[in-house]
Amino acid sequence: MTDIFRARPTEDDTSLDISELARNAYDGVRRNLWLIALTVLVFTGATVVYVLSRDDVYTARASLLIDPRIAGGAGGVQPAPTLLLADALVVDSEIEILRSDRLLYRVVEQLPEPRVEEGDGDAAPSALARLRARLLPVDLVEPPTEAQRLEDLVRWVRSKLAIEREGATYIITMRFRAQNSELAAFVVNTLAREYLVLQSDEQVDRAAQATRQLRAEISRLSDAIAEREAEAQAYRIANDIPRSETNNTVTQQIADIDSRTINARSIIREGRSQLQSIALDIKRLDAPLEIGSLASLSLEDWGMGQFQDQLRRLQEQNAAGGWNDDLARILERVVEQFRSELIRLRDTREARIAVAEANLAALAEERETLEREADRLGTVRIPLDALEREINSLRNQYTVVSNRLRESEGADRFTPSIARIVDLAVPPERPSVSGGLLTVIAGALGGAILGLGLVFLREQLDDRLRAPRDVTDALGLTYGGAVPMLRTRDLPLPPAIGDRLNMADHSRLDRQQLVRLLSGTYSGSRRLGETLRRAATLMTDPVDGQVYSVLITSPRQGDGKTTFATNLAVFLSDRGKDVLLVDGDPHTGTLSRLFGEAAEEDIEETWGDVALIRRLSPRLRLLQAIPIDHYWQLDPSHYVRAVRSLLEEASGPDELTVIDAGTLTTTVEDLLSLPQIVKVFVVVRFGRVSTSALRSVLRQRPIVARAIAGVFLSQVQDRKMKRYDVLPD
């Protein structure tokens, strides 16, 4: 079955209708204006009481400048390299120092006792101490100790103190609130000065502590260096290792031997090359051809140069044909001289080569000996090298610590302060908390905001049927109109009828009085007449114009369905329609008791001793129960059968049937099964039935739900007519 109780879909459910939201918000505020006015009055009254009862409070202000470029503050924080880190590590840390207990204790100790008592009552003993003094006898209350008194004063100072940073600057602002202006200025100025004193004391303490630590470290390093040097010297003596200045003697000797070996090998190579040149020159002297230049003879020797020139001239004369015996003897003698010189040179070179080879063998043997010594020293020097490296490291540490000691000894004299006072507080002349009118206005605005919140909460949680959109949007049903709450004195009725109706004793009225009463009811109320015309329209088929009969029910007793049914029946009869008004509520019989016993001439049809049809006017008949005085003895199912039988037998073809049924029960479904009943009107008392409850009841009665043609709100007061816009559009 289709869920007919959901809100009817619009063309675009996902779209946001700002005008609809604004209209709903306005309607909610208008309906709950009393709640907003109540919250505004309560808050305004409370604010007025507060303004009249509060004491004047003075706020003193002092400022400090924190320079993060200077190393170290009261907290010992080093400066950060960037602005952001400086803000986080320097300025914020100094704010925490200003809030610390040790600084506040120094401030509290300087507070004069009379000033504290005169300045603020909160500086008295703590709340727990006051409660203990109030509950216990005087002789059992222990006076506070000095430590407890200081603790209370520190807690009081911290509650009145506000420390913050001014924007992105390095300025820290301190504010203190008190009822005494001089006390406020004294506390904040004392805090600023004590902060600077604490910072200076800590700088001196840190410098002295650093100096002591560095001196202790220097003493330890000196002892360690002396100890390691003694170990190294003892190891040298035990292993016959030279000191550090002769550590490389063996290595140097090996290098010298390598150099001498290279020289000897060079001499050998050079001598052998010269021997080859000498052998070649001797062969050339023995050859019959021209001798030419001798490569093995050095031209630097002047005598050999002369022999070379003489030999060249002789060869030139021989070539010119001037050869003779004398020239031949001279040439032979010169050649013999050259040969002798070459042999001498060969012997000399051979001797040098022999000496060089002997030296080379001796150098190889010596080098082998030195390498063995170097291997031995390399093995025994490993521990010694480790000791020497450790000694060098200790000496480097000693140098660094000595430099730091010299810097630390002058740190307390040359380190500037990280903070300085920018502005000291003066006793304020005017209270910081003023403007009673502004406070009252703020309280009224707060009450209005709270009232709006309560209105929103109430509108969200309260789903009672009180407006047309509660029917159309929440239930998806058609809204018929509103039945106003009518008073007898407001109707144009004769005094006799009005007096008897006000008596509410169910006295029997004659037929003419009843018809006149009902006609006067809707004619005396314009809004009721509009609602009845709306109901008549809903009973008419929009296609063929046929008017259908209707069954009127309600979710609970006392919702006004009988009043609405009788007025609708009289309204239709006055408009020329034949109407049969049926008392279809076997549980209460309100309609039957209202009209009372029927006269014999008015009765038209009967069904045993259970029900009858009587004539009220030319166009209005009533189907009612017979045992009016003992209505509670009726069997509901037996009565429903009687009503069904009478309707089937006595209902005219053009006669409209208006059934005043009971609440939404099985009896209503039985009456709805009649062929002439097509539509159902549901009458709901204004503001008494929730949407969820009615939805739940209708889901249990799907036959009734499908036949509902309109929902009417009953017993609506005049002032709520406009507030909730209950009239249909």
What is the extent of the structural domain holding 440? 32-50+435-461
Q: Is residue 257 part of a domain?
A: yes
Nearest to 553 by CA among 649, 442, 666: 666
Q: Is residue 230 part of a domain?
A: no
Q: Is residue 170 part of a domain?
A: yes
Q: Give rounded-to-5 percent helix, strand, coil for the chain.
A: 60, 15, 25
| Residues 277, 281, 282, 287, CA torsion sign | positive
pTM: 0.49
Q: How many helices (H) and strands (E) does the chain have?
A: 25, 13
- Asked if 356 and 489 sit in the same domain, the reply is no
pLDDT digits (tens, 9 = 90+) for 398-410: 999 888 888 777 6
CATH number of the domain within which 568 lies: 3.40.50.300
pLDDT, residue 450, reads 92
> Would you state the structure tokens that stand for residue 517, as one six-digit string?
């009463």
Q: Is residue 493 part of a domain?
A: yes
Q: Is residue 505 part of a domain?
A: yes
pLDDT, residue 506, reads 37
Place of tokens 């329609």: 577
At residue 93's C-alpha, the angle toward residues 92 and 98, to 5°, is: 95
Do the beta carbons of residue 225 and residue 398 sit within 8 Å? yes
What's the CA gap between 209 and 150, in Å, rounded? 30
Do the beta carbons of residue 261 and residue 360 sit within 8 Å? yes
Dihedral pair phi/psi, residue 663, rounded to 5°? -70, 175
Number of domains the chain contains: 4
- Asked if 65 and 41 sit in the same domain, the reply is no
Do the beta carbons of residue 520 and residue 492 sit within 8 Å? yes
* Last-in-domain residue among 400, 423, 446: 423
Contacts by 634-642 with C-beta closer than 8 Å and gap 24+? 634/586, 634/589, 634/610, 635/586, 636/586, 636/587, 636/667, 638/610, 639/586, 639/610, 639/611, 640/584, 640/586, 640/667, 640/670, 640/671, 642/607, 642/608, 642/610, 642/611
Spans of the chain below 70 pLDDT: 1-16, 68-89, 113-142, 242-248, 250, 287-328, 331, 378, 410-417, 433-435, 486-525, 599, 627-634, 722-729
Place of tokens 């040298």: 236
> Would you state the structure tokens that stand for residue 613, as one six-digit string?
């049809």
- Asked if 447 and 479 sit in the same domain, the reply is no
- Asked if 513 and 605 sit in the same domain, the reply is yes
- Asked if 571 and 720 sit in the same domain, the reply is yes
pLDDT digits (tens, 9 = 90+) for 353-389: 888 888 888 888 888 887 777 777 767 777 877 888 8
pLDDT, residue 306, reads 61
> Would you state the structure tokens that stand for residue 597, as one six-digit string?
């016993």
* Last-in-domain residue among 385, 414, 443: 414
Dihedral pair phi/psi, residue 55, rounded to 5°? -95, 160
- Asked if 156 and 253 sit in the same domain, the reply is no
- Asked if 404 and 457 sit in the same domain, the reply is no
- Asked if 254 and 344 sit in the same domain, the reply is yes
Q: Is residue 218 part of a domain?
A: no
| Residues 361, 364, 368, 374, CA torsion sign | positive
pLDDT, residue 603, reads 78
CATH number of the domain within which 150 lies: 3.30.1890
- Asked if 290 and 332 sit in the same domain, the reply is yes
Q: Is residue 24 part of a domain?
A: no
Helix (H) or strand (E) holding 480: strand 479-484
pLDDT, residue 118, reads 41
Helix/strand/coil for 158: helix
- Asked if 548 and 696 sit in the same domain, the reply is yes
- Asked if 443 and 559 sit in the same domain, the reply is no
pLDDT, residue 712, reads 93
- Asked if 607 and 490 sit in the same domain, the reply is yes
Q: Is residue 72 part of a domain?
A: yes
Report the interhelical angle of 181-239 vs 92-99 (nearest 10°): 110
> What residue ranges in 33-140 does DSSP mark as E strands?
58-66
